[in-house]
């Protein structure tokens, strides 16, 4: 059963023992102040080391880019030291883990920035509300990054990549999805620039290319990946021609020979409220020749089907990994998946409840003859 999902795969230089990946999941459990990874996070990731590859929760590359309460960072020595035992625990349990690098751009509320405005590709404002330490607050207008500041942000990504290597990760993934900074540059509804970073789809991918090139310099292309969300509006970030825009992004990935590309393609019930829009993975597949990972509210059966058919090379599971720390083992055994209890209430709350207290599946007792 599900034989395709349990074939090993090379995701660039990373040898995954199966094709069931753990998708990045923001959980908000780092120690404050300082956004430092801790022992509770170690246990969380160790429990889930049966995945072919863990993609870590989105992790801030700088204070400027971090706007989620208690999300971890990778810009300080203390944070690097906090991640080191986590990566070691995953490796000791036989797993692999890459760090997802995150700059939230205009989705950082000024409360995280000492009252200063957030930065973005252009001077725009996201719709809706930000989660802040003092509750939900309206997003505030961002200011446009200058070209000198863009170079500085690229340098921040490079330093974060160096820190991830020092922390013992197997590679890095650039968060280019879900309406955050890279996505804000990619899409024409949020990128209103008239310089070489705006206008054509190729220009709007320039920031993506520069960041990925910096990470490739640090890690080598075969240990760098990217997450994209090429379908529909996401947190106010939209595009008038996603096939062209994300085709250009796929060309960047192909040119740089990235280790793999992951696509977040939620359906109508997706986390960020996208509607049922045409899927663009075929556009990416036609241009990018490396391993393609899809993440789209999969079941074990639909995941097996898409890997077997060749639509995807591996599948990243998100929310099922919250309540099923041994998800890969459950799929192998054909066991039921535990439901997500008290979700989404426990997604982001501090403490172990709904985080590290989900048990592994019970061992079935051997049948006893009468």
Q: Which residues are catalytic?
A: 180
Contact status, residue 188 vs residue 116, Cβ threshold 8 Å: no
Q: Which of 244, 272, 231 is nearest to 127 (CA)?
A: 272
Q: What angle do CA 35, 142, 247 make, to 5 degrees?
A: 90
Q: What is the 3-state secondary structure (H, E, C) of 34-56?
A: CCECCHHHHHHHHHCCCCCEEEE
Q: How many CB atoms lie within 10 A of CB 368?
A: 5
- Rg (C-alpha) for the chain, rounded Å, is 20
CA atoms of 228 and 14, how far apart (whole Å): 20
Tally the C-alpha atoms within 13 A of residue 121's C-alpha that lie toward its C-beta: 29
Is residue 123 classed exposed, middle or buried when 0-12, 13-18 and 19+ CB atoms within 10 A define those classes? middle
């Amino acid at each position: 059963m599900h034989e395709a999902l349990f074939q090993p795969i090379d995701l660039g230089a990373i040898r995954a023992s199966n094709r069931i990946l753990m998708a990045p999941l923001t959980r908000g459990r780092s120690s404050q102040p300082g956004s430092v990874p801790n022992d509770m996070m170690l246990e969380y990731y160790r429990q889930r080391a049966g995945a072919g590859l863990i993609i870590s929760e989105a992790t801030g590359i700088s204070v400027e880019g971090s706007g989620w309460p208690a999300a971890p960072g990778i810009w300080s020595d203390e944070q690097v030291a906090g991640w080191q035992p986590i990566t070691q625990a995953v490796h000791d349990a036989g797993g692999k883990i890459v760090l997802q690098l995150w700059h939230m751009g205009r989705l950082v509320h000024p409360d995280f920035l000492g009252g200063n405005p957030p930065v973005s590709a252009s001077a725009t404002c996201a719709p809706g509300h930000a989660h802040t330490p003092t509750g939900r607050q309206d997003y505030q207008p961002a200011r446009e990054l200058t070209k000198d500041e863009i170079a500085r942000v690229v340098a921040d990504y490079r330093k974060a990549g160096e820190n991830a290597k020092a922390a013992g990760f197997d590679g890095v993934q650039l968060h280019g999805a879900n309406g955050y900074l890279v996505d804000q540059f990619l899409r024409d509804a949020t990128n209103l620039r008239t310089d070489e970073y705006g206008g054509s789809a190729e220009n709007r991918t320039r920031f993506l290319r520069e960041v990925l090139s910096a990470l490739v310099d640090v890690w080598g292309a075969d240990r760098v990946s990217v997450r994209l969300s090429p379908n529909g509006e996401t947190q106010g970030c939209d595009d008038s021609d996603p096939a062209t825009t994300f085709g250009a992004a796929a060309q960047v990935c192909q040119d740089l020979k990235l280790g793999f590309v992951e696509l977040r393609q939620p359906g109508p019930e997706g986390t960020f409220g996208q509607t049922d829009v045409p899927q663009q993975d075929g556009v990416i597949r036609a241009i990018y020749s490396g391993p393609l990972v899809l993440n789209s509210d999969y079941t074990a059966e639909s995941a097996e089907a898409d890997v077997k058919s060749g639509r995807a090379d591996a599948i990243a599971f998100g929310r099922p990994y919250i309540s099923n720390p041994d998800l890969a083992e459950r799929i192998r055994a054909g066991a039921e998946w535990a439901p997500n209890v008290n979700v989404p209430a426990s997604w982001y709350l501090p403490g172990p409840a709904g985080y590290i207290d989900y048990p592994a599946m019970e061992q079935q007792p051997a049948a006893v003859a009468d």
